[in-house]
Amino acid sequence: MRTTSKTPAKIQRDFLTGNQKTKLFSFLFILPSLCFISLIVIYPLFTGLSYSFRDGTLLEMGDFVGLQNYIRVFQMPSFASAVKFSLMFSVISVFGSYSLGLGIALLLNTDLPGRSFFRAAILIPWIIPSVVSVVAWRWLLGDQNSIANAALGLFGIKPILFLADPFWAVISVSIVKIWRSFPFMMVSILAVLQTIPAEQYEAADLDGANSFQSFRYVTWPNLTSITVVCAILMTIWSVNDFDTIYLLTNGGPFEATQNIINLAYRYAFTKNDISASSAMAIIAMLFMMILSTIMMKKQNKDN
């Protein structure tokens, strides 16, 4: 009976062949997901990019016009106003939601009675549908006879047009955005707080550190990474926030709360100018990509 012995080189070739088969089967398993992602993400992205270089409408692609749509968009006063509001809205949303989430997370990280109930209850603004929450806020702030003005009337304060006055409209949409977003910040920060070793706080106590110093030199350094991630995500969500603006003020009054995404929607579906709308969306995407890259590089440098 003849036997064959496998040399080390043959064993290695067999192993590589098996590894390639495993990769092939793995790729086949994720192929449906890749096709689905390509259909709902990649194809619309390249379609929008193509529209931004053409003079088209919703019914036809139009002719290639190069960068004329981008030049036209940058010359629009309404776009400059939308960029200004988007930046301000993002800064207020990130700072407000993070500050509120951090404060509540620090409170819930202590031996607070009933903290399990509060952890679940605070998630309500995050988990309920945006249409329900924003419409409820609109009912709360809507007009002179709203609940908010009725409460102010008890203290002798005249009614405030929260959604009809440009200044108060900006304040109102920012408050609603913070209210909807702070639970995400709270959960993210609380998850990190619970992983900080107690030995670090004990060492700080032995060194005579007070509560503020313990937060400054123990808690905050451990929160740096999650802070950057949350800031990036919240900035992207704020710039892309369509439902809060559309349902609460629809960009008004006098375009005081018009962000880039809402303006792009108006040009696409109200003015049938899909070219300008696509250019605005691409500009917003590039802005968020640049901002995310800068913040991630800063995080890596700090680490």
Find the distance separating the first CA and the last CA of the chain, reported in whole Å. Answer: 64
Domains of the chain listed by start with CATH number: 68-302 (1.10.3720.10)
What pLDDT sits at residue 282?
92
Beta bridge partner(s), residue 54 = 64
b/e string for 72-103 if b means 16 or more Cβ within 10 A? ebeeeeebebbbebbbebbebbbebbbebbbe
**Distance, CA of 292 to CA of 303 (rounded, Å):** 16
Beta bridge partner(s), residue 129 = none
Mean pLDDT of 37-50: 85
Query: Which residue has 């349902």 as its token pair?
Result: 247
Which regions of the chain does DSSP assign to beta strands (E)? Answer: 54-55, 63-64
**Distance, CA of 37 to CA of 20 (rounded, Å):** 24
Residue 303 in 3-state DSSP? coil
**Distance, CA of 249 to CA of 259 (rounded, Å):** 11
What pLDDT sits at residue 117?
84
Q: Phi/psi of residue 64, each to 5°? A: -70, 125
Instruction: Give the pLDDT band (50/70/90) at residue 111.
Output: confident
Mean pLDDT of 178-188: 94
Mean pLDDT of 109-119: 82
